[in-house]
Amino acid sequence: MVISLDDDFEACRLASEVNSKKIVGAYLDSSKRTYTKDSALWFGMGLISRFGKRRADELKALNRKTYQQIMYKILGLKYKKQEPILNLTKKELDFGRKFAQKNKIGKKDLVIGINTGAGGRWQDKKLSIEKATELIGKLNKIKNARLLLFGGPEEKERNGQIKKLTKTKIIDAGCSNSLMKFASLVNLCNILVTSDSLAMHIGIALKKKIVAFFCPTSPYEIELYNRGVKIVPRKGCVCCYKEKCDIAPEYDVDEIVKSVKSLI
């Protein structure tokens, strides 16, 4: 059996070329990407949907199942909220400990990670620099709070601007960490405030408390395992998946702060 859960052309080609009795998921049919009937629950609301983009987008917006629920259903497996696993090595844990010692982060501190960027594909996934700065100022008022500012290479300039505008203390986690060093620093957090991004998925796998904000992607597909809060904009798109939303998202910073406090 071939299980093919990626609609990338090369992944579909590989699935089609493997000698197997059965394929579940996406594959090539006469050089065209398609998918098996039993995987329509996922691919039917995606880029290769047989229903066309307009209907696929409608199905995506109507969907209320998490990604995990959908995948377990497609594969005929019983879903019991099985969690993702991310194990850090001793070396990686030591990296995190040394960072904490260097920045005088103690065991009694409430470490709140701030990851407001989200790469370059969806422009409106990010919290604006002004809103991020406002959020940092308000979170710093929480008792024993120590804030860590996260980002990747694409957030270097953005995070620099946030630090310039921020009038309260924040620890810069850096923007050039390797994947596992990044995870080691996320592991220091008690609570992670994040966009729908790699940081969020790492935080979920490390069983962190999460406050995640969503635009333009679906909040319904994300499983937080009863350890988090999902925030959607009070104005703007939800689940439109456009690179640039027709209406820029407007978040209530106080709602994010309230959600963080609810997890303490």
**Residue 116 or 182, more confident:** 182
- How many residues appear in the chain? 264
The verdict on pTM exceeding 0.75 is yes
The pLDDT > 90 percentage for the chain reads: 88
Residue 84 inside a domain? The answer is: no
134-154 core/surface letters (b: 16 or more CB in 10 A; e: else): bbbbbbbebeebbbbbbbbee
**Structural domain includes residue 59:** yes
Same domain for 95 and 188, yes or no, is yes
Residues 112 and 234 in one domain: yes
pLDDT band of 245, cuts 50, 70, 90: confident
Per residue in 210-223, pLDDT (tens digit) is 999 999 899 999 99
Look up the domain containing 54 and give its range: 2-74
Say yes or no: 55 and 101 in one domain. no
Do 178 and 231 sit in the same domain of this protein? Answer: yes
**Residue 161 pLDDT more than 90?**
yes
**In the chain, how many domains are there?**
2
Please report, for the domain that includes residue 102, its CATH number: 3.40.50.2000
pLDDT at residue 28 is higher than 90: yes
Strand boundaries in 6-165, DSSP class E = 23-29, 32-35, 110-115, 145-149
Do 163 and 240 lie in a common domain? yes
Q: What is the mean pLDDT of residues 76-90?
A: 97
Q: What is the pLDDT of residues 150-160, one digit of tens each?
A: 999 999 999 99
pLDDT greater than 80 at residue 103: yes
Identify the band that residue 121 occupies on the pLDDT scale cut at 50, 70 and 90. Answer: confident
Check residue 126 and give its pLDDT.
Answer: 87
Identify whether 26 is part of a domain.
yes
In tens, the pLDDT along 168-208 reads 999 999 999 999 999 999 999 999 999 999 999 999 999 99
Kindly state whether residue 206 falls inside one of the protein's structural domains. Answer: yes
Please say whether the beta carbons of 148 and 173 come within 8 A: yes
Q: How confident is the model at residue 7, as a pLDDT?
A: 97
Residue 57: inside a domain: yes
Task: Give yes or no for residue 125 having a pLDDT over 90.
Answer: no
